[in-house]
Amino acid sequence: AQRVTQPEKLLSVFKGAPVELKCNYSYSGSPELFWYVQYSRQRLQLLLRHISRESIKGFTADLNKGETSFHLKKPFAQEEDSAMYYCALSSQGAQKLVFGQGTRLTINP
């Protein structure tokens, strides 16, 4: 069974501080991992995907298959980063995404 766990429901950091949102998954095959974000009063949207290995809005995430993790990191948080973040998993070739419970990130000024 596929499962995504985000252990922190709430995370609060100060502007300029580093941010790390944790994501652990369980899946026996080769997963595809994603981070989705929902800003206040906006739709859920894709932030980044592990296969692209890109930095979006200063965020990066590395897939660690040994630790079955896909943590989202940003070295210097900005107030506009405040949002709800969801980690999601898809098995290769599958259509559906399995989402974690989400972490609400608040950046304090």
Measured from the CB atom, is 12 or 42 closer to another protein? 42
Where does this chain touch another protein (CB under 8 A) — which range of 14-22, 58-66, 69-77, 86-94? 86-94
Does 90 participate in binding another protein (rule CB under 8 A)? yes
Does 9 participate in binding another protein (rule CB under 8 A)? yes
Q: What angle do CA 91, 94, 96 make, to 5 degrees?
A: 95
The answer for residues whose C-beta is within 8 angstroms of residue 76's C-beta and 6 or more apart is 16, 17, 18, 58
Does 4 participate in binding another protein (rule CB under 8 A)? yes
Rounded CA Rg of the chain: 13
Judged by CB under 8 A, the residue of 23, 77, 100, 107 near another protein is 100
Burial of 73 (0-12, 13-18, 19+ CB in 10 A): middle
Between 43 and 82, how does the x/- string for binding to another protein read (CB under 8 A)? xxxx--x-x-------------------------------
Q: Are 23 and 6 in contact (CB under 8 A)?
A: yes
3-state secondary structure of 80: helix
Does 96 participate in binding another protein (rule CB under 8 A)? yes
End-to-end distance of the chain based on CA atoms, in angstroms? 41
The footprint of another protein (CB under 8 A) covers 4, 6, 9, 32, 34, 43-46, 49, 51, 86, 88, 90, 93, 95-102
